[in-house]
Amino acid sequence: MDLLPDLWRQEYWLPPGVTWRDLEQLPDSERPRPKDLLITLPLALGFVAVRCVFERFLAPPIASCLGVKNRLQVSAAPSPQLESYYCHRSKQPTQVELVSLMVLCGKTQRQIESWFRVRRNQDRPSQTKKFAEAAWRFFFYLSAFVAGLTSLVNRPWFWDHRECWRLYPIQPLEKAHFWYYMLELGFYGSLLLRISVDVKRKDFKEQVIHHLATIFLLGFSYCANYIRIGTLVMLLHDSSDILLESAKMFNYGTGWRKTCDSLFVVFAVVFLVTRLVIFPSRIIWTTLLLSMEVFEPFAGYYFFNILLMVLQALHVFWAVLILRMVYKFLKGKLEKDERSDEESEADLEEEDKAKEEKTDPGGDCYWGKSKETLNSKLSALTNSCVLNNLTHHRSSVANRARKAQ
C-alpha cells in the first residue's frame, strides 16, 4: 500500500531543492502530470485499430503499385506426428529428438530435417505482410518527424541545448509537445501490443528492449518535465527511421533496386551520423554534463541517463549490422536485410550439401550417391587389373618365343 506514495517521492523525480509544489506554479494546462500518461493506453489501442485498417485497405494498392509479389511457398508433406510435434513441442528439434522422431515416423533424419525446414518456411510472413508493416511505420515516422520538426525548429533549445535546462523545472508544456509525447508513447505502446504477430527478425529481443527503454524514457521525462530534451530524442530517432522503412518498402517491390540501394546508402549515412555522433555528443552530453550546470545529480538523473545509454548500446549493435550490409553492398552481394527472417534457398542448398558429406546410413540420397561412387571406383580398379594381366601375358609370350629361337 505504501509503494505508490514512495514511488512519487520528489527525491526520485526532481533535483535537490526542487519539489512538486514548484511545478504547481505553472497553470494546469502547461504542467505535465503523471495521470496524463493514461491517455496513451486508448491511443495505443487506437493505433492498433488504425493499423489494421491501413494494412487491410491502403497497403495492398500501394504494394501493387510497387510490384510487391509473394513468393511461391512449398507446403510440407502431410504428417500428423511431425505436425503435432511442430505445433506443441519444438520447431527446431535437437539431435536426440530427431532420433525419436525417426522411430516414430519411420523416416530418415534427412527427410525429417527437410520437413521441418519446409514447415518453418511455410510459416514465414509473406512479402505483402512485411511491406504493409514497413509502410505503416514509414507513414507514422514521416508524420511524426514533420510535426515534431515544425513544433521545434523555432524553439531556442533546438539550437542551443543549454536552453533545455534554463529555468528548470518551471518550463511550461506546450500543447503541440504534449501531443507529440502522447502520440509517440501510444505508437510504441501499439508496437508492444502487436509484437507477437509482427514480423520477427534476428534482432527481435533488441527491438523489445528498445521499445521498453523508449517507453520508460519518455514516461519518466514527461513526469519529471524533461520535455525539451525528450522532444529532441524523439526527433533524432524518427529522422533515420523514415529512410529505413522506405528502403524496406522498395526492397519488397519489383524493379526498384536502384531506388532501394540509394535509400539504403542515405539511411546508413544518416543513421551512423545521428545515432553514433549526434546522439552521444549532443543529447547524452547535454543530459550528463550541461544539466549539472543547473542542478546536482539525483536518482532520476541516473535513471534517465542509464536509459539513454541502453539506447546507445542498441545503436552500436544496429550500426554493426548496417556496416556489414554496407560491406556486402560495396561488394555487390547485398540481397537482403541482415535481420532477415527467411531461410533462403541458397542457405538450404549449402546446408543440404554439408549434410550430404556426412554419413547418413538410412538416407536414400546418400546411399545412391555412395553406390554410384563405389561402382565407379570398382570399375576403374577392374580396368586396371585387366590391363595389368594383359600386359603381363604379352610379356610372357614374348619371352617364350625368344627362348624357342
Q: Give the pLDDT confidence of 28-66 residue by residue, as tens digits.
A: 889 999 999 999 999 999 999 999 999 999 999 999 999
Pick the more confident residue, 367 or 182: 182
The pLDDT score that the predictor gives to residue 333 is: 61
Task: Check pLDDT > 70 for residue 385.
Answer: no
Residue spans in the chain of domains classed CATH 1.10.10:
80-123
Q: For residues 260 and 133, give the distance between their C-alpha atoms in angstroms, rounded to a whole number.
A: 17
Give the confidence band of 143 by pLDDT, cuts at 50, 70, 90: very high
Phi-psi region of 255 (alpha: psi -120 to 50; beta: other; left: phi over 0): left
- Please give the share of the chain, as a percent, with pLDDT higher than 90: 62
Terminal Cα distance for the chain, rounded: 125
Query: Averaging pLDDT over each range in 112-126, 224-238, 316-330, 368-382, which range is the top one?
Result: 224-238
Question: What is the CATH number that goes with domain 80-123?
Answer: 1.10.10
Q: What is the pLDDT of residue 383?
A: 47
Q: Has residue 318 got a pLDDT over 90?
A: yes
Say which residue, 321 or 372, is predicted with more confidence: 321
Interatomic CA distance for residues 23 and 31, integer angstroms: 7
The model's confidence at residue 387, banded by pLDDT at 50, 70 and 90, is very low
| 281 — pLDDT class (breaks 50, 70, 90) | very high
Residue 344 or residue 114, greater confidence: 114
Residues 300 and 304: their CA atoms lie apart, in Å, by: 6
Name 204's Cβ contacts closer than 8 Å, sequence gap at least 6.
Answer: none
Cell representation of residue 118: 519446409
Sign, CA torsion 15/20/26/28: positive
Q: Looking at this protein, which amino acid is placed at residue 280?
A: P
Does the pLDDT at position 213 exceed 50?
A: yes
The better pLDDT of the pair 391, 95 is held by 95
Mean pLDDT over the full length of the chain: 84
3-state DSSP assignment of residue 174? coil
User: Cell numbers at residue 371, please?
Assistant: 553406390
Q: 87-91, 145-149, 265-269: lowest mean pLDDT where?
A: 87-91
